[in-house]
């Protein structure tokens, strides 16, 4: 029970709100959008509850990755990884983790069965720090799991992994925040809010672009970068029939398989979904 209470961790929730609420007032990408925008309450439910299934799922992934790493890799190799300078471990593990995140994220856009999980996240029409939490647990466990599995399997030191988790969490919140920030020339190096906002943009030229979570290098290498920084998108979201409440959103990817009522996709909607997933 203590473990579950730690995952809910309301203190960090207040800290996050105290930092991002004023920041979004100072540098808003969309000044007219306030914190009580449409869907804020549902995203708050995601914020408070989602970390429980995600935390449990990622613990299972980490334990499995450690066991596989110990079984397949020589102990001397894992020990030598953990003995590298801390800064080198952090840089190396973040690049590896982001490459694996890129691959899994792109797969979620490519396979229709996975897209139905990821569509929950792309149903966000008004991005902010709170909306960052609107992610189906299966999506988050598989995508973040793919990024942390090699980190645990390769044997990086606990300190390097802890730094990665902290940086990843705050970076992810910033990417979704309602902030007009593009990092200037460093936008080629680090993913900025502008970079990730374009991933959520309802602009055809930006569909299936900017899959990296932290380093645009992977999108540049694999030809999926949309490196525009002179403007922010004007529209976000998708045309899929994603419901608007937490419970329905959790069930949404499974509805078709259970034979529940599934509104027929219009040719237009179907076309958008296929285009997004391609
Ligand atoms: Zn996506
Ligand atoms: Zn996102």
Residue 89 CB neighbour total at 10 angstroms:
23
Q: How far is the centre of ligand 2, averaged over its atoms, from the C-alpha of 209 (Å)?
A: 12
Measured in Å, residue 121 CA sits from the centre of ligand 2 at: 6
Residues of the chain with pLDDT under 50: 1, 3-5, 7-8, 257-275, 277-278
At 262, list the tokens: 């599934």
Q: What is d(CA 63, CA 129) in angstroms, rounded to the nearest whole number?
A: 30
107 CA to centre of ligand 1 in angstroms = 9
Contact assessment for residue 46 and residue 246, using Cβ atoms and an 8 Å cutoff = yes
Write down the pLDDT at residue 189. Answer: 96
Q: How far apart are CA 19 and CA 9, in angstroms?
A: 16
- Ligand 1 geometric centre to CA of 242 (Å): 15
The pTM for the full model equals 0.88
1: buried, middle or exposed (CB in 10 Å: 19+, 13-18, 0-12)?
exposed
C-alpha 208 – ligand 1 centre gap (Å): 7
How many A from CA of 78 to the centre of ligand 1? 32
pLDDT at residue 129, rounded to an integer? 93
User: At 201, is the secondary structure helix, strand, or coil?
Assistant: strand
**CA 178–ligand 1 middle distance (angstroms):** 17
Tokens of 235: 């529209």
Cα-to-centroid distance, 124 and ligand 1 (Å):
11
Q: Tell me how far apart the alpha carbons of residues 73 and 94 are, in angstroms, rounded to a whole number.
A: 20
Chain position carrying tokens 């030191």: 157
Task: Give the distance (Å) from ligand 2 centre to CA of residue 160.
Answer: 24
Nearest ligand for residue 196 CA: 2
With a CB cutoff of 8 Å and minimum separation 6, the contacts of 205 are 226
Give distance in angstroms: CA of 48 to centre of ligand 1: 22
Q: What is the pLDDT of residue 163?
A: 94
pLDDT of residue 234: 92
Q: Burial-class residue 37 by CB neighbours within 10 Å (0-12, 13-18, 19+).
A: middle
Joined together, the tokens standing for residue 102 give 């890129």
Ligand 1 midpoint to CA 109 (Å): 6
State the distance from the centre of ligand 2 to the C-alpha of 269, rounded, in angstroms: 21
- Residue 170 Cα to ligand 2 midpoint, Å, equals 13
């Amino acid at each position: 029970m203590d473990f579950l209470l730690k995952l809910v961790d309301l203190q960090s929730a207040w800290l996050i709100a105290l930092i991002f609420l004023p920041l979004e007032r100072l540098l808003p990408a969309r000044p007219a959008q306030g914190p009580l925008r449409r869907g804020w309450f549902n995203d708050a439910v995601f914020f408070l509850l989602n970390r429980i299934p995600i935390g449990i799922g990622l613990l299972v992934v980490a334990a499995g990755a450690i066991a596989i790493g110990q079984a397949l890799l020589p102990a001397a190799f894992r020990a030598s990884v953990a003995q590298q300078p801390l800064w080198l471990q952090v840089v190396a593990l973040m690049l590896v983790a982001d490459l694996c995140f890129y691959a899994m994220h792109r797969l979620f856009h490519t396979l229709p069965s996975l897209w139905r999980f990821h569509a929950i996240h792309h149903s966000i029409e008004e991005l902010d720090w709170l909306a960052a939490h609107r992610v189906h647990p299966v999506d988050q466990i598989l995508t973040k799991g793919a990024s942390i599995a090699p980190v645990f399997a390769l044997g990086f030191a606990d300190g390097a992994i802890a730094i990665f988790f902290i940086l990843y969490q705050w970076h992810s919140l910033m990417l979704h925040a309602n902030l007009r920030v593009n990092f200037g020339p460093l936008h080629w190096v680090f993913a900025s809010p502008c970079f990730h906002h374009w991933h959520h943009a309802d602009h055809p030229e930006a569909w299936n672009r900017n899959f990296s979570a932290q380093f645009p290098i992977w999108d540049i290498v694999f030809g999926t970068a949309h490196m525009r920084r002179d403007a922010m998108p004007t529209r976000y979201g998708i045309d899929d029939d994603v419901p608007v409440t937490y419970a329905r959103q959790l069930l949404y990817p499974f509805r078709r398989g259970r034979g529940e009522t599934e509104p027929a996709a219009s040719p237009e909607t179907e076309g958008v979904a296929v285009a997004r997933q391609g």
